[in-house]
Structures are given as structure tokens and as C-alpha cells.
Structure 1
Amino acid sequence: MQEDRVTDDRALPFQVEGLDVRGRVVTLGHSIDTILSRHDFPRPVKVLVGEAAVLASLLATSLKDVGRFILQTQTDGPVSMIVVDVRTPGQIRATASFNAAAVSEAESEGRADSGSLLGRGTLAMTIEQGKTQQRYQGYVPLEAESLQEAAHTYFRQSEQIPTRIRLAVAEMFDRGADGAARQSWRAGGIIGQFLPDSLERIPVRDLPGGDAPEGAEYEDPEDDDAWVEAVSLLDTVEDHELTDPDIEAERLLFRLFHQRGVRVFAPTALQDRCSCSRERVRQVLAQFSPEEILESTVDGRIDVRCEFCGVHYPFDPKEFLQEN
């Protein structure tokens, strides 16, 4: 079992005033190891779920007055669905649905990258406001691309905020105090966004109108020099810098932006915690008709398993038949 570190399982906000860039670094240690270890997922699926958990954590911790942030994919690939649920102040749970045979085939053929496993479909992001419980949803198509690439598309098309994201997941091997080999999972990510005081510094990208003359060329506007510099720096981030337990987020940020001056702020703690409970499951079953209760009964009882944490909740069907 991996050791808990004070620099693990947190989202660290940062700001680079010289480049008008704000962002966060997420480092997941014990939390992601617990999430992935409880599921009997093939290795490529665990990597993909780890990436989704990091992306959801990066986005959820940037929002204010949010009670819940849900990232969900629905696609036609071997991994047909991923759901990551982040609740304030940083409680994460995640699960996935996949075709084991298709994943195994893709892995044997060298097609186990994120884009190939996901295939085509949609990436949805749902925000539930903490006080009002209002829901806001954003969608972006997935075209056999990685979650990282899809997130870039979302911010470019929907939010029109210049954004750069890096995600990484690693399977770690070491030896414990007793000399026995041990394995664990780690994940991390960084997001940087260009947020200048003047919106005129953010180029508006659009396609030419439908009445444009045939053969007309459209020139993509140039990015602000500050954002070009920030992207060039963020693109130097290597996977191991996001997952190595000996490389703290502060150290990575100093390497990237020390010449421009970088400030960090109070981190948000992240932890593996499921929101399921016996009472919540009972409330759902109470809405079932007598026929549905009987159809759900096996060997004289109803057994409900949480797809996120794996906890089983057994019920006596008579309890609901009497109520109905």
C-alpha cells in the first residue's frame, strides 16, 4: 500500500501574472489507487478512468458554488461509458462500462490508446450548483480522440478560453518495508488558461460565412505572445513529472514559470469517497412497482451493488411490497 503524502490528493491553484495565465495542478495518489484497485478493470481501462478522474478534478476544482460536477462519456468504442462524479469539497468516485473481449483484442493489436478505446460519441460535463441545485450541461463530440484533446475542443468551441491540459496515469512498482513487491496507481494533470484583463487579446476563431466565395481562404488569427509562450512551456511537461511522487507540484510550477514569476494558492483536498447509502438505495426501490420488485428479487432478496464503490445493499422485498 502506498504511503500518504501531504502533496498528494489535492488540486493546487496557480497564477502566472506575467503571462496572464491561471490554472491548477492535480496530483492523485492514494485516492486514485483506491478507486482503480477496487475495480477489476483491464489495465488500459484503468488508465482511461484515471485520466477521466484527473480531468474531472481539474475542472471541478476551478468552479465556485458547485455542489457536484459529473464528467461522462458515451461512445461506441470498447469502453462505452465512463462516469466520474466529483462532489464538493473534493470527493471523487468513478466507474466505467466496457466490452472485455473488445478491450483485450484492441490491446493485443496495439490499439489500446484512449482514442481507440473510446471511439465516437460524446463527452458530457454536468454542473449542479450547490445552493440552487440548478443543472448546467456542456457537450463535445468525441471522434476517436483522447480526453485531453476533447477537452481542448470543448474550451475552444464552447467557452472560447485558450486552454492547455496535460493528463498522465502511471502504474508504480516498488518494495515495502518487508521487501515484498507492491503495485499502486498514480495520476496527475495540469491545466493552464489564458485569462487577460482585456478580452481583445483573445482571438475569436470562427469559420467563414456560408456566402464566402468559393476557394476563399480563411486565416486563423494569431495567438497573443504571452499565450504562445505559456503553451510552449506547458508542452514541455512530461508524464513522469505529473505522476512521480518525488516531484511536487510546486517544483514543477517553478521549473515552468520561475522566469515569469508564479504564485500558488491554498490547495483543495481530493479524496475517494462514494455518496451511496442504504437509505438512498431504499428510496429508489420504494418507487418500484410490485412487478418491478418481484423482477428484482433473486433467492428471496433484492441485492443492489453500487457500481462506483462495489458495496452491496441487501433488502427484503416484503418491505416494499407492503408499502405498495
Structure 2
Amino acid sequence: MDSQSPDMKTRPEGPVRAPSAVPIDDAALPYEVDALDVRGRLVRLGPALDDILTKHDYPAPVGKLLGEAIVLTTLLGSALKFEGRFILQAQTDGPVSFLVVDYKAPDQLRAYARFDASRLGTAKDSGALLGRGHLAMTIDQGPDMSRYQGLVALDGGSLEDAAHEYFLRSEQIPTRVRLAVGEEWRSNDGGRHRWRAGGMLMQFLPKAPERARQADLHPGDAPEGAEVHAVAEDDAWVEARSLVETVEDVELIDPELSGERLLYRLFHERGVRVFKPLVLKAQCSCSRDAVAAMLKSFSPDDRAAMVKDDKVVVTCEFCSSVYDFTPDEAGVEDA
């Protein structure tokens, strides 16, 4: 391998401006490092994440796992260029048997998880909490368009591992993902702990596609001694990936460190360009009309079985909003 790839570029003569020192929470910051042919997004979540997680009072390990899923979904969903949805959903045999994150373009987030408290035990990391199952990533372009879905097996690894596997198998784009979630405590905040999260996605997108070639997938049960196809990684990608791997969790969630300063720390020798951040918010799409329409999709017998104390009560699993209906409003027929 040459010491420098043919298409690698030198550092720009100078920065257009200094990196902003003002941190921005609940935002996705697109960036690119032209000299290394990489692009990506840096996500910081504060109040929006805290709003989603505290609505359900999750145990800390479950909140951290769902927070990681929310960051991963935001990193991917914020790339949508149309009015649609990016949905991440995991179904597993682990203590957290189900989780879903719904990103509605351009800027709305909601999420929830189901878990068995009796099985949480000492499970702390995402691999132990999820166990074995599958992770589905769905792009929903609207009612008149077909859906795209990618599936990744979960086998005790982390959500970062699953994301890397997804890009290797489905997108075949060299990609690095970093996720971090933590709780912040400040003495002037009444002793309340608040959730924070950060994440980073970086992809190698050179003009010459042969530079982005990756090794073939593991041959699985190939005969012993079978030659495994090896591909030398491009120098630019090796450098960029090595820099991102130095990022610590605390840097991704530090409320005093701006996203621009973090990117400058990483890529100042090569030059990094940032674009207008996308501001995000926690917002559920449920409504009384939507719930009423959902009730009408059930059979008359099912609707009748929902009546308790002369009313039908529906609680949104995403935002915990409660909707009360009289039997007549719920479409329950008179006996």
C-alpha cells in the first residue's frame, strides 16, 4: 500500500472560521473532511432524550440502552431527504425483549422499550440486555411508496456492532459509529439526574469506488485452510477511523464541549467543514383522532372486550398519553 492514497488531499490552506464554542443540544450536525473523503453526522441529545426516557421511569440500564437506540436512529434518520420515517426496532430473547424508535422526518423523535424487570439482574451492557434476536431498520416513504427494510442478527453484541454489521452487509460502505449515553447531575438542579447522549457516524465516500472496497464476509463453514479474501484498507479511511476511535464517551455527551470543537479536535490537521445543524425534538404523533381510528380497526367483539368501568382507556406506549372513550365513541355496539 502506498504511504498515501492517490486521491488523498492535502489540508486546506486555512479554516474559514474558528469552531463555535457554544454547545447545541438536540441537534444533528453534518460534517465532512474532504481531505480524507469522509462525511458524517454528530448528534447531541439533551432535553429531548430526557423527556422521552423520564416519561417511563426506566431502570438505568434500560434507559441507557434505549438512549443508544435513539442516538443510532437519529444518526441514520437525520439523513432522510423526504417526509418519511426511519424506524429502528429490536425483538430479542433478552431482558429487554422489544424496543422501537420512530424518527419522523425532518425532526421528530419518539421511542419506548419493553423489559422484564425480574431478568435485569446484573445485565448492564446492551449486548447482555438484548441477548439474541434481530434488529430491523425500516425506511417508510409514505402510504403510496414501498418500504425498505434491512435486518441484522443480534447475537449478544452491542448496538454499535449491529450498526457496523448492517452497513457491511446492506450498504457496503465503510462506516464507523460511536454511541454514548449518560446521566448528568448538577447541584443547582435540585439533585435531579438528567439523561444526555451523543453519537457520531462517519462514512468513507471516495470518488473512486475501488478505494472503498472491503473484505468479503466471513466464509462461515468453509473448509479448514480455505483462503480468506483480504483487502488492504485505504490509508485515508484508516486514518479517519483511527481518529474517531480515540473519541471518549465523555466527549460525546459533555454539555460544555460543542460539537464543532469536538470535530476540530479530531480533524484540525486535515480540515473539517460543518453544515447547518438540524434541530430535533421529542414529539409523539399520537392524537385522539388517530386512536379513535385505530379502535375502529378492531372487531366488534374486541372493542366490546375493551370496555372497563363503562369506558375504553387507551395509553400511548410512546408518550404515556391517556385517551378515554365512551363505549359509543369507541364504536362498541349495544348488547
Distance in 1, matches of 2:286 and 2:334, equals: 23
SS of alignment partner, residue 318 of structure 1:
coil
Distance in 2, matches of 1:50 and 1:209, equals: 34
RMSD: 2.0
Alignment partner of 1:298 out of 292, 305, 308: 308
| 1:288 shift after superposition | 2.1
Alpha-carbon spacing, 1:220–1:285, altered in 2? closer, same or farther (3 Å): same
Residue 60 of structure 2 corresponds to 43
Alpha-carbon spacing, 1:19–1:288, altered in 2? closer, same or farther (3 Å): same
Would the aligned equivalents of 1:75 and 1:122 in 2 still touch at CA under 8 Å? yes
Alignment partner of 1:65 out of 82, 93, 96: 82
SS of alignment partner, residue 321 of structure 1:
coil
Alpha-carbon spacing, 1:277–1:212, altered in 2? closer, same or farther (3 Å): closer
| 1:88 shift after superposition | 1.1
Alignment partner of 1:270 out of 272, 280, 297: 280
Would the aligned equivalents of 2:80 and 2:106 in 1 still touch at CA under 8 Å? no
Would the aligned equivalents of 2:86 and 2:139 in 1 still touch at CA under 8 Å? yes
Distance in 2, matches of 1:208 and 1:252, equals: 35
Query: For residues 209-252 of structure 1, what are the alpha-carbon distances to aligned partners after superposition, in whole Å with 9 as ceiling and x for unaligned?
Result: 89987522214211100000001000000001111100110000
Alpha-carbon spacing, 1:252–1:101, altered in 2? closer, same or farther (3 Å): same
- Alignment-mate amino acid for residue 153 of structure 1: E
Q: How does 1:1-324 map to 2 (within 5 A)?
A: 7-103=24-120, 105=121, 107=122, 111-129=123-141, 132-176=144-188, 180-207=190-217, 215-319=225-329, 320-322=331-333
Distance in 1, matches of 2:289 and 2:298, equals: 15
SS of alignment partner, residue 192 of structure 2:
strand
Would the aligned equivalents of 2:23 and 2:257 in 1 still touch at CA under 8 Å? no
Q: Say how many residue pairs are matched.
A: 313
Alignment gaps of 5+ in structure 1: none
Which moved further from structure 2: 10-19 or 200-209?
A: 200-209
| 1:40 shift after superposition | 2.2
Distance in 2, matches of 1:300 and 1:255, equals: 62
Where in structure 1 do 4 or more consecutive aligned residues deviate above 6 Å?
208-213
Query: For residues 280-308 of structure 1, what are the alpha-carbon distances to aligned partners after superposition, in whole Å with 9 as ceiling and x for unaligned?
Result: 00001112222111111111110000000
Query: For residues 55-93 of structure 1, what are the alpha-carbon distances to aligned partners after superposition, in whole Å with 9 as ceiling and x for unaligned?
Result: 000000122225111000000000001100000111000
Residue 8 of structure 2 corresponds to none
SS of alignment partner, residue 84 of structure 2:
strand
Identity, % of aligned positions: 55
Distance in 2, matches of 1:43 and 1:186, equals: 12
- Alignment-mate amino acid for residue 248 of structure 1: S
Alpha-carbon spacing, 1:132–1:12, altered in 2? closer, same or farther (3 Å): farther
The normalised TM-score by structure 1 is: 0.92
The normalised TM-score by structure 2 is: 0.89
Distance in 2, matches of 1:212 and 1:44, equals: 39
